[in-house]
A and B are shown apart, each in its own frame.
Chain A
């Protein structure tokens, strides 16, 4: 079976029980994606599949053959941190750093969803063409990523600072 991780095609053969998260962490040594609950309740394992965010702990690896996976290890480009990674440092969007990879991947995809015009449950006009990505929208859309250290303010500030110049 093939899977494309951070641009590299990787052949793998695993027990069908293996989650995408365990494939990354235990089999491929990509430990950036984190395990916090293994039940889809914390978001620490968030990775991107063809650009969309999912909980890799609930994903069976075999179900994702042929797909393009982006993990936190794939956010930096040519050694340069992604602007959101730099903003997380600047705005102190983490303390212990354990939920951080999931928050980062989630935020990247969240902004992409917003650019595609997806509404959220706090969007007033569901059918509106343009939705302002205000603080409430960011908080709702990021609510699938728990942070027990309580870096939520810094995370929202980092996202806002990075993406406020978007169209």
Chain B
């Protein structure tokens, strides 16, 4: 690990001032991803600005939504009664991630900004366009079983590893930030960029910009869930995950919000499937059609081709479960 200085910010403005815009500093949350990346020499900041003492509040809004302080821990999020009752998919997604120890450390803001687990990204002897733009990508023809079937490019096929973000993009979460130009809000679904030719630029955040809170609109319905498919029964990253919230009235899908994890270069909102579902009968064939619609552009490689069918099946099974349809 390269030597660095450490400072703790007392408020967001101090954090912003301490971190500056020269790119040499990083915000430090729980450290569960950043410290690992620094030890692996993928990140080498000169200064760390600890933001874990900033807002950890989780508060209800008058409209029935929620505001979550960026420094709230993953555990606090999953434990919060309103989230367990109103947004079960979010609680489940958080609880499906990592281990209890890591969830106790990891912050919501840090979770949003965690970086990929691509094994070629982690290996300094391998070529990686994320680490070194233009170097090439050794995952394309390498071990790509964990990699993306959606949103990938010839420069990068690395998946976004978060479970929490999958639920948050399904829930239309909005990220609030503070930057040198002041406060702004960005829908989470727009925060992460597709890799295209520049996989090293992962989000729309500007230098020094700090995530201060996440805002959730009221849920469509309390009937929502998160299902994660993985190699181990626990403590493993998703091969495929599905966050889903479905409002079924009189046997018809009135509305649905869906997102996929483990399959895409960013937390993947399944707009096409939602569109295909709206107004349709809540039956397995229409769920299958929606899944097909979402994955029509999915592209598999040597080891991850299976994810296309797996994603469809998992999505259909989750929809059937929420709609109370027997499979």
Contact = CB atoms under 8 A, between A and B. Distances in A.
Are A and B close enough to touch in the complex, i.e. CB under 8 Å? yes
B173 interface: no
A57 B36 CA distance: 9
A165 interface: no
Contact of A119 (B35, B91, B99, B105): B91
Interface residues of B, number: 38
Nearest to B2: A17
A80 to B, nearest CB: 27
A62 B28 CA distance: 12
B314 to A, nearest CB: 16
Contact of A19 (B4, B35, B96, B235): B35
Contacts of A144: 98-102, 235
B240 to A, nearest CB: 16
Interface string B26-43: 001011100110010000
Interface stretch (B77-85, B130-138, B144-152, B200-208): B77-85
Contacts of B92: 121, 126
B75 interface: yes
A59 B31 contact: yes
A6 B84 CA distance: 34
B31 A58 contact: yes
Q: With a 10 A CB-CB cut-off, give which of B6, B88, B105 has the most chain A CB atoms.
A: B105
Contacts of A40: 32, 36, 98-99, 101-102
A118 B75 contact: yes
B95 interface: yes
Contacts of B3: 15-17
Contacts of B180: none
A71 to B, nearest CB: 14
B100 A53 contact: yes
Interface in B203-221: none
Interface in A3-39: 15-17, 19, 38-39
A143 B99 contact: yes
A52 interface: yes
A86 to B, nearest CB: 24
A53 B35 contact: no
Q: With a 10 A CB-CB cut-off, give which of B6, B35, B50, B79 has the most chain A CB atoms.
A: B35
B95 to A, nearest CB: 4
A70 interface: no
Interface in B89-123: 91-92, 95-96, 98-102, 104-105
A55 B4 contact: no
Interface of A: 15-17, 19, 38-40, 43, 46, 49, 52-55, 58-60, 62-63, 106, 109-110, 113, 116-121, 123, 126-127, 139-141, 143-145
Given A59-B105, A113-B100, A119-B79, 19 more contacts: A16-B48, A17-B4, A39-B36, A39-B39, A40-B36, A43-B99, A43-B101, A54-B101, A55-B102, A58-B32, A60-B48, A63-B8, A118-B75, A121-B228, A121-B234, A123-B95, A127-B84, A139-B234, A143-B234
